Amino acid sequence: MNIPASQNPRVVIIGGGFAGISMVKQLANKPVQVVLIDKHNYHTFQPLLYQVSSSGLEPDSIAYPLRKIIKKQKNTFFRLAEVSNINHKARVVQTSIGEIAYDYLVVATGTKTNFFGNKAIESNSMPMKTVPQALNIRSLILQNFEKAAITNDKEAREALLNFVIVGGGPTGVELAGAIAELKNNILPRDYHDLNTSDMQIHLLEGSARVLPPMSKQASEKSEKFLKALGVKVHCNTFVKDYDGLKVTTNTDLKLESETVIWAAGVTGNPVSGLQEGTVVERANRYLVNQYNQVQGYDTIFALGDIALMKTDAYPKGHPQVAQPAIQQGKLLGKNILKLIEGKPMKKFKYHDKGSMATIGRNKAVVDLKTYKFGGFFAWFVWMFVHLMSLVGFRNRVIVFFNWTYNYINFDKAARLIIRPFHKSK
List residues near its own copies by CB under 8 A.
1-4, 40-42, 58-61, 63, 65, 67-68, 71, 74, 77, 79-80, 97-98, 131-132, 135, 142-143, 146, 149-152, 189-193, 392-394, 397-398, 401-402, 405, 413-419
Q: How many CA atoms are closer than 13 Å to the CA of 335, on its beta-carbon side?
A: 22
Cβ-count burial of 387 within 10 angstroms (0-12 exposed, 13-18 middle, 19+ buried)? Answer: middle
φ, ψ of residue 304 to 5 degrees: the values are 75, -140
Q: How far is the CB of 69 from its own copies (least distance, A)?
A: 10
Q: How far is the CB of 248 from its own copies (least distance, A)?
A: 30
Nearer CB in complex with its own copies: 71/338: 71
Residue among 332, 296, 376 at smallest CA distance from 18: 332
Catalytic residue from among 158, 174, 181, 223:
174
CA dihedral (225, 210, 135, 158) positive or negative: negative
Q: How far is the CB of 156 from its own copies (least distance, A)?
A: 12
146 included as an active-site residue: no
Q: How far is the CB of 383 from its own copies (least distance, A)?
A: 18
Q: Are strands 42-44 and 63-65 parallel, antiparallel or unpaired?
A: antiparallel
φ, ψ of residue 21 to 5 degrees: the values are -75, -30
Query: DSSP per residue over 249-318, as a string?
Result: ESSS-EEE-SEEEE-S-EEE-PPB-SPTTSEETTTTEEEB-TT-BBTT-SSEEE-GGGEE---SS-TT--
Report the alpha-carbon distance of residue 110 to residue 86 in Å, rounded.
16
Q: Is 175 helix (H, G, I), strand (E, B) or coil?
A: helix
Report the alpha-carbon distance of residue 362 to residue 351 in Å, rounded.
28
Contact of 237 with 206, CB cutoff 8 Å: yes
Report the alpha-carbon distance of residue 45 to residue 328 in Å, rounded.
18
Nearer CB in complex with its own copies: 52/233: 52
Nearer CB in complex with its own copies: 97/101: 97
Nearer CB in complex with its own copies: 90/416: 416
Q: How far is the CB of 152 from its own copies (least distance, A)?
A: 6
Report the alpha-carbon distance of residue 268 to residue 420 in Å, rounded.
30
Q: Which helix (H) or strand (E) segment is 322 a member of?
A: helix 322-341
Q: How far is the CB of 311 from its own copies (least distance, A)?
A: 37
Contact of 302 with 268, CB cutoff 8 Å: no
Contact of 179 with 54, CB cutoff 8 Å: yes
Q: How far is the CB of 149 from its own copies (least distance, A)?
A: 7
Nearer CB in complex with its own copies: 349/394: 394
Q: How far is the CB of 326 from its own copies (least distance, A)?
A: 22
Report the alpha-carbon distance of residue 45 to residue 59 in Å, rounded.
10
Nearer CB in complex with its own copies: 97/280: 97
Nearer CB in complex with its own copies: 120/397: 397
Q: Is 21 helix (H, G, I), strand (E, B) or coil?
A: helix
Nearer CB in complex with its own copies: 142/245: 142
3-state helix, strand, coil in the chain (%, to 5): 35, 25, 40
Catalytic residue set:
174
